[in-house]
Amino acid sequence: MTAQVYGTAREALGDIADGAIVMIGGFGPAGQPVELVEALLEQGAADLVVVSNNAGNGEDALARLIQLGRVRKIVCSFPRQVDSWHFDAAYRAGSIELELVPQGNLAERIRAGGAGIGAFFTPTGYGTPLAEGKETRVLDGVPMVLETAIRADVALVKAYRADGAGNLVYRRTARNFGPVMATAATRTVVQVSEVLPVGAIDPETVVTPGIYVDSVVRLDSTTTLAGARPAAGRATS
Amino acid sequence: MTAQVYGTAREALGDIADGAIVMIGGFGPAGQPVELVEALLEQGAADLVVVSNNAGNGEDALARLIQLGRVRKIVCSFPRQVDSWHFDAAYRAGSIELELVPQGNLAERIRAGGAGIGAFFTPTGYGTPLAEGKETRVLDGVPMVLETAIRADVALVKAYRADGAGNLVYRRTARNFGPVMATAATRTVVQVSEVLPVGAIDPETVVTPGIYVDSVVRLDSTTTLAGARPAAGRATS
Amino acid sequence: MTTTSAAQRLDKAAMAARVAADIAPGSYVNLGIGLPTLVADHLPVGSGITLHTENGLLGMGPSPAPGREDPELINAGKIPVTELPGASYFHQADSFAMMRGGHIDVCVLGAFQVSARGDLANWSTGSPDAVPAVGGAMDLAVGARRTVVMMTLLAKDGTPKLVADCTLPLTGMGCVSRVYTDLAVIDVGPGGARVVETYGVTHAALEDLLGLELGLTDTGED
Amino acid sequence: MTTTSAAQRLDKAAMAARVAADIAPGSYVNLGIGLPTLVADHLPVGSGITLHTENGLLGMGPSPAPGREDPELINAGKIPVTELPGASYFHQADSFAMMRGGHIDVCVLGAFQVSARGDLANWSTGSPDAVPAVGGAMDLAVGARRTVVMMTLLAKDGTPKLVADCTLPLTGMGCVSRVYTDLAVIDVGPGGARVVETYGVTHAALEDLLGLELGLTDTGED
């Protein structure tokens, strides 16, 4: 159904049930939907399964969710960072389950979830501890591992601009996990720095078509650097 | 290696060996690399395996390749058209092998070929004659069929604009199979209506990164309608 | 548990309007080649319904004015169309991911046969000397959240197209949930065929015509 | 069938220059986090070498001038970078498809251990109380057309990092083809370890140091 534009991150987030699977975009600081995760912290859902490349930094909202014991499991490629002390503590205490996934397999499993592909054979991880117990097969001479699709109840994504139809463009390397996560969740909530009228994004340059977007919120804090080049719409010649 | 720009379709095509697997972009008239297929007709390679959504129209170059018996096998979703008489005749005579593939499976198998995915489980085709003899599995409650990746020796693609780094943008529904085929071939040859300087295509709007492109030729005949909206670069606000 | 019954068999336009009436505002919809394309003319203005065409466009508009056709802007039937504000273009793998991943709310397809269980046959006449072609039929059949069929209830030779078991090669198994025809709207699925509405025929006459026992649907609405 | 031998052990910059010298003009290259990032400084101007960073950019440029950092333009090590003319951005699934599909010509990685067969261990120290993290390491190891390693030949505690069999958890099996170190360049693979060049050590001393029998490579070039 058509995307709705909301006035606050909390309203855009809506209700998240206890036990929900929540995808959170971002790679390092780029593309983190900071305010949406803060809204989730405020909203109160617990027993969550989080799918995210990282596992929180310092005292940010994801780190706090973990500290508060509201994340039962995290599906993640790089949880360990210099300032991931809340995750580290929970992991060492055995109070959080970690499914460690190579970054490309994580992205491809999410894409599969959004694309209706149930599972796929990939060479990544073959012969390593992260493929232990998984089905393997040699295809065209290459040994591969079977990896299954990941879907979520909600995806939290940061994009650069939306139009009124929910079409999204991203900015530079902040694009990262947003476009695949947006496809793989029952409900996709997006924070942007600008909402344009329907038709204001060139149809050739749309990265995430509006069909994947349910809720949009414009946040000043999402605004990128002053003077930064726009993500789409620059003359090409 | 970096893309090369050539002066003629024949030069861009280069050598194609007998027995080569050749992907040809296009869906109906949109996105057909007409002059590149004509160059293939002229070049002379035989015993070809062609991967293409359609199987030639009227007396076009693909139809002629089939008529001349130079296509051993075609991997195709919709070979039968009102004017596909050369394919029809070859098929009825048993002189061409047809692997009929649902269109979405064809696209996904080509994507898998380009993405290093060996095979994947898809619901499309399950329980139908086109899945006969294929491995099946129920995943998350959905019965699925295992489909394998398709790769090619050469992909022939029509795009709209290239820059000197081989980055491509397409135009409207002519985009269709080009972007996935470009990723799945050892050598990708592209005809465009315009070659721009390196950097003239906004990095946010590139559809096919130059890494996938080997040879480019600019052809006047590829030019789209006068006055048509450019594929990228229109101001978004 | 009652069915409405119009006095008259529906013509194509009335069938298309009946299909359109079941599509919720704001839906993303794919209309198959042939009869289903007529549904576009009956979608209410301002309903916010967005059309997908699997060759790579979301936000498809009607045919262009004569002389304004663009050979690079066509639908899955290779007919020139237009783009509406808010449209987006994507490649074939992304387009079929959109379909297969369950993102299209409703897909309306034509059919040669539909079974009471919801099996669909719409890609092959089964004729041994026919040149086969499938296109996107199998992807469309299983991909949408809800797949419905729009067809005449009887073939030109008078044989029923709603059947106990499809005799033609299948497009998809158990994928159809509702069939819109000139004589009736009928739900199909694991519970068998159940009549929603009839047009110019009684429930009993419909059963005779099809040689099928038909239930009544619980509700005529989604 | 001869190896060159410099008088001196190479420093980091010389190692990076040596790696760079083997990268053909026009190549697409991914440089791993840590030591391999130094290679960028030694790629000749005008060589047409394009850098890929797996977080979604092809055509990565050097670090920006102070004050010009953009938190949304970073490399896989989360360090601010720049974009060069001809760059393109893409999402994670497309970026790893580019890597996994064999489109990157050369990937240069750091390592804890490399085996003579070309197995790689570079993501886990195997310490039971360590918090694990893998990132893109496993994808990079197996995806590129040619994966090479840049590392010191000995660990800080003096133990060799080129080994008969990796004892640390693997990143990929048989994926490395050449190892660039401070003391030698060594080819690895199904044929075992073969010396290409040594720096300040003799072939025999190298064998002693590693406790491995080392062959000579057929050719020192790609």
pLDDT digits (tens, 9 = 90+) for B45-86: 999 999 999 999 999 999 999 999 999 999 999 999 999 999
Partners of chain C (3+ Cβ pairs below 8 A): A, B
| pLDDT surpassing 70 at residue B234 | no
| pLDDT tens per residue, range C79-111 | 999 999 999 999 999 999 999 999 999 999 999
**Separation between Cα atoms, residue D209 and residue D203, nearest integer Å:** 10
Identify the residue among B21, B108, B110, B121 best suited for mutation to test binding to A, counting A beta carbons within 10 A and taking the highest.
B121
| pLDDT surpassing 60 at residue D221 | no
Instruction: Residue A16: name the closest of A114, A154, A176, A119 by CA.
Output: A154
Beta sheet of A71-76, edge-to-edge order: A4-6, A215-218, A185-192, A152-158, A21-24, A48-52, A71-76, A97-100
Name the residue of chain B whose CA is nearest to A144's CA.
B118
CB contact under 8 A, A127 and D129: no
Q: Looking at residue A187, what is its pLDDT?
A: 98
CB contact under 8 A, C172 and B102: no
Instruction: Please report, rounded to a whole number, the percentage of residues in chain A having pLDDT higher than 90.
Output: 89
Q: Looking at residue B232, what is its pLDDT?
A: 37
CB contact under 8 A, C96 and B107: yes
Taking residues D131-146, report their average pLDDT: 96
Q: How many CB pairs under 8 A join A and B?
A: 111
pLDDT band at residue C3 using 50, 70 and 90 as cut-offs: low
**Separation between Cα atoms, residue D188 and residue D167, nearest integer Å:** 17
| pLDDT surpassing 50 at residue A234 | no
Partners of chain B (3+ Cβ pairs below 8 A): A, C, D
Identify the residue among D74, D109, D134 best suited for mutation to test binding to A, counting A beta carbons within 10 A and taking the highest.
D134
Chain B interface includes A47 (CB < 8 A)? no
Chain C residues whose CB is inside 8 A of the A209 CB are 58, 88, 90, 98
**Separation between Cα atoms, residue C193 and residue C72, nearest integer Å:** 42
pLDDT band at residue D219 using 50, 70 and 90 as cut-offs: low
| pLDDT surpassing 70 at residue D3 | no
Nearest neighbour of B124 by CB, restricted to C89, C133, C138:
C138
Single-letter code of the amino acid located at A175: R
Chain B interface includes A30 (CB < 8 A)? no
| pLDDT surpassing 80 at residue B224 | no
| pLDDT surpassing 60 at residue A227 | no
**Separation between Cα atoms, residue C114 and residue C102, nearest integer Å:** 21
* Range of weakest confidence among B64-68, C1-5, C73-77, C128-132: C1-5
User: SS3 for B184-214, per residue?
Assistant: CEEEEEEEECEEECCCCCCCCCCCECHHHCC
| pLDDT tens per residue, range B8-19 | 999 999 999 999
| pLDDT surpassing 60 at residue C175 | yes
CB contact under 8 A, D26 and B210: no
The domain ranges of chain B are 4-218
Name the residue of chain B whose CA is nearest to D27's CA.
B1
CB contact under 8 A, B228 and C70: yes
Choose the CATH number for A4-218 among 3.40.718.10, 3.40.50.300, 2.30.42.10, 3.40.1080.10.
3.40.1080.10
| pLDDT surpassing 70 at residue C4 | no
pLDDT band at residue D2 using 50, 70 and 90 as cut-offs: very low
List, in order, residues 6 or more apart from A44 with CB less than 8 Å away. none
Identify the residue among D70, D88, D89, D175 best suited for mutation to test binding to B, counting B beta carbons within 10 A and taking the highest.
D88
Any idea which residues of C carry the catalytic annotation? 54
| pLDDT tens per residue, range D44-95 | 988 999 999 999 999 999 999 999 999 999 999 999 999 999 999 999 999 9
List, in order, residues 6 or more apart from A142 with CB less than 8 Å away. A123, B118
CB contact under 8 A, D50 and B2: yes
Nearest neighbour of C103 by CB, restricted to A165, A206, A211:
A211
Chain C interface includes A188 (CB < 8 A)? no
D30 has which bridge partners?
D52, D107
| pLDDT surpassing 50 at residue B90 | yes
Chain C residues whose CB is inside 8 A of the B91 CB are 131
Chain C residues whose CB is inside 8 A of the A116 CB are 97, 99-102, 143
Note whether A234 and C121 are within 8 A (CB).
no
Note whether A41 and A64 are within 8 A (CB).
yes
**Distance from the A175 Cα atom to the nearest Cα atom in chain B, whole angstroms:** 10
Chain D interface includes A199 (CB < 8 A)? no
**Separation between Cα atoms, residue B85 and residue D120, nearest integer Å:** 55
Note whether C26 and A3 are within 8 A (CB).
no
pLDDT band at residue D128 using 50, 70 and 90 as cut-offs: confident
**Predicted TM-score (pTM) above 0.90:** yes
**Separation between Cα atoms, residue A112 and residue A139, nearest integer Å:** 19
**Separation between Cα atoms, residue C145 and residue C149, nearest integer Å:** 14
Instruction: Residue D88: name the closest of B133, A236, C154, C39 by CA.
Output: A236
pLDDT band at residue B223 using 50, 70 and 90 as cut-offs: very low
Q: Looking at residue C6, what is its pLDDT?
A: 65
| pLDDT surpassing 60 at residue B100 | yes
Domains and CATH numbers, chain D: 6-216 (3.40.1080.10)
CB contact under 8 A, D132 and A178: no
* Range of weakest confidence among A157-166, A215-224, D21-30, D114-123: A215-224
Nearest neighbour of D73 by CB, restricted to A98, A127, A172:
A172
DSSP string, A157-216: EE-SEEETT--EE--GGG-TTHHHHHHSEEEEEEEESEEEPTT-S-TTT-SB-GGG--EE
Note whether D211 and D19 are within 8 A (CB).
no
| pLDDT surpassing 60 at residue C2 | no
